[in-house]
Structure 1
Amino acid sequence: MKLDDVADDLEEILLTEDAIHVRIAELSRQVEKDYAGEPLLLVGVLKGAVMVMADLARELKLPINMDWMAVSSYGSGTQSSGVVRILKDLDTDLTGRRVLIVEDIIDSGLTLSWLLANLQSRGAASVDILALLRKPDAAKVDVPVRYVGFDIPNKFVVGYGLDYAERYRNLRGVGVLAPHVYQ
């Protein structure tokens, strides 16, 4: 779905599909350089990271494995509750693995900080983070993110995997959701 298809629901368009694809290609080149010759496990964080994970995996020119984990601290609201729940755990043993967590967005950093510690405790050789979007002004904890696509303002955004109440995930870009939609 194009951003124009829901223009009345958006306050502004932040990122086009083309801009996102260019940035994912750039990030992929860096990941290839950093992990050259080493097996890499991509861990996608469901559901929001599906688009990022798919495009990153197809763009990478190195062998990868993929697994998925679902954690939640949002419910159907627009702000993190701070309480993390595992909805789906990994199927892969992380012992000795190089792991790259693939995230759609970092808001407060609380969920990602918890996830990073959780995966590190499972015996991985390394755990790094790639996030398409980061809201520096929303950070409540400092999370060491190795790869960032875009820093964005502290506004509620949808599209490219990001949702509000399970809607807008299939938008081909990222836009700021208009308050009249969620108030």
Structure 2
Amino acid sequence: MDRVYLTWWQVDRAVFSLAGEIRKHFRPDVVVGIARGGLVPAVMLSHILGDLELKVIDVKFYKDVEKKMERPVITIPLHGSLEGKRVLIVDDVSDTGKTLEVVIEDVKNAGASEVKVACLSMKPWTKVVPDFYVFRTDKWVVFPWEEFPVVVRE
């Protein structure tokens, strides 16, 4: 699968673009970041949108670029109640949509009154089209927090 590499500047612009759209259409009480890819944009959005409460959920689905497990598994569950809260779920990419389906169900089961999804990008074939996203691509997106320079030690 072809890859597209994003810079920190591109991510920054994308997150501010998301925040602008979210402000126009939704006022979340809580941001839920999906570890690991969704954590950076979730933290940024929680600050930009007014220092909102931030919760983390960890879901494993991918073993490698083209190797997925059969079904996503929650490995670190949400803590605390979301009873009556408006929740914004944040991830980096909506690829198959299966991870988002699992998280949306979990957030609703935790009592959220309203749930919206924000992703930096989405794939054309996803089962869950985010309420807020910046771009569509059929490429594997590599974010700056995923690639590290090799350190050579002598």
Normalised to the residue count of structure 1, the TM-score between the two structures is 0.70
State the alpha-carbon separation in 2 of the partners of residues 15 and 77 from structure 1.
16
CA–CA separation in structure 2 for the residues paired with 1:14 and 1:30: 24
Match for 1:158: what amino acid? V
Match of 1:85 in 2: 73
Map 1:169-180 onto structure 2 (within 5 A): none
Shift of 1:104: 0.8
Q: Which runs of 5+ in 1 are unaligned?
A: 1-10, 172-183
Q: Residue type of the partner of 1:90?
A: L
SS at match of 2:68: coil
Which of 42, 54, 57 matches 2:43? 54
Task: Tell me, yes or no, if structure 1 residue 149 matches structure 2 residue 134.
Answer: yes
Q: CA deviation at 1:14?
A: 4.5
Partner AA of 2:72 in structure 1? V
Which of the numbers 27, 39, 42 marks the counterpart of 2:31? Answer: 42
Which one of 86, 93, 103 corresponds to residue 105 of structure 1? 93
Distance 1:47 1:33, change over 3 A: same
Is 1:29 aligned with 2:14? no
Q: How far 1:144 moved relative to its partner?
A: 4.2
Alpha carbons 1:135, 1:151 under 8 Å: kept: yes
Paired with 1:47 and 1:15, the residues of 2 have a C-alpha distance of 16
Instruction: Tell me the TM-score normalized by structure 2.
Output: 0.82
Structure 1 runs, 4 residues or longer, greater than 4 Å off: 11-14
**Correspondence for 2:60:** 72
In 1, distance between residues paired with 2:16 and 2:143?
19
Secondary structure, counterpart of 1:94 in structure 2: coil
2:149 is equivalent to residue 160 of structure 1:
no
Percent of residue pairs bearing the same amino acid type: 25
**Which AA in structure 2 matches 1:51?**
V
Matches of 2:72 and 2:123, distance apart in 1: 19
Contact 2:59 2:73 in 1 (8 A): yes
In structure 1, distance between residues paired with 2:136 and 2:53: 27
Cα deviation, 1:47-94, whole Å, max 9, x if unaligned, reads: 11122122222322x241100000111134533323121110111201
1:19 match: secondary structure: helix
User: How far apart, CA to CA, are the structure 2 residues paired with 1:40 and 1:160?
Assistant: 28
When the two chains are superposed, the root-mean-square deviation of aligned CA atoms in Å is: 2.3
Q: Which amino acid aligns with 1:95?
A: E
Give the letter for the 2:37 counterpart.
G
Whichever residue aligns with residue 28 of structure 1, its letter is: A
- The residue type paired with residue 105 of structure 1 is V
More strand by share: 2
